Amino acid sequence: MKHCQWCDKEFNTEIVYQIYCSPECRDLSTKEKIAARYLISRRQKRKGKERSCKSCKEALSIYNDDNLCVKCNVNPSDVAKALKTIKDNLK
pLDDT tens digits along 30-77: 999 999 999 999 889 988 889 999 889 999 988 888 888 888 888 778
Report pLDDT for 74.
80
Report pLDDT for 10.
96
Report pLDDT for 91.
74
* Distance of alpha carbon 41 from the chain centroid: 14
Domain ranges of the chain: 2-90
d(CA 61, CA 31): 26
Report pLDDT for 32.
97
CB atoms within 10 A of CB 44: 9
* Distance of alpha carbon 53 from the chain centroid: 21
